[in-house]
Amino acid sequence: MNKLLQVLFWITIVFFFSLFFSKYNNNYYENKKILTEEAIHTFEEDLKAGKEINPSNYLIKEKNYNNTASKLGRKASSWIEKGFQKILKIMMNYLNELQE
């Protein structure tokens, strides 16, 4: 039983860190803020020409990638997250019992 719990513990730790780093290192929101070179050039040209500046004219229009597969992926991810939370609770309770 102890060996099984140790294996589950380490698997959970590995999954946690892999999800943590993939979530926080993809810089999705940071990349959305960056203007493309073409947009910067267009902005500078419009500024020199004295045109009215509207920031939305220089941002890239966001594509909608929602489909059945992405919805299924989000549901599966949520299910996996809930499962890991349950496993971590069980493991922490077990470790607390061992400590007492």
> Is the confidence at residue 30, as pLDDT, over 60?
no
Q: What is the predicted pLDDT for the residue at 31?
A: 56
Whether the full predicted model's pTM is greater than 0.85, yes or no, is no
Q: Is residue 20 over pLDDT 80?
A: no
| Residue 58 and residue 43 in contact, taking contact as beta carbons nearer than 8 Å | yes
pLDDT at position 32, please? 56
Residue with tokens 């940071």: 30
- Per the structure block, which two tokens stand in for 5? 């719990």
List the end-to-end C-alpha distance of the chain, in Å, as a whole number: 18
Domain ranges in the chain?
A: 2-99
pLDDT band at 24 (very low <50, low <70, confident <90, very high): low
Residue 99: what pLDDT? 82
Q: Give the residue from 24, 16, 21, 22 showing the smallest Cα distance to 91.
A: 16
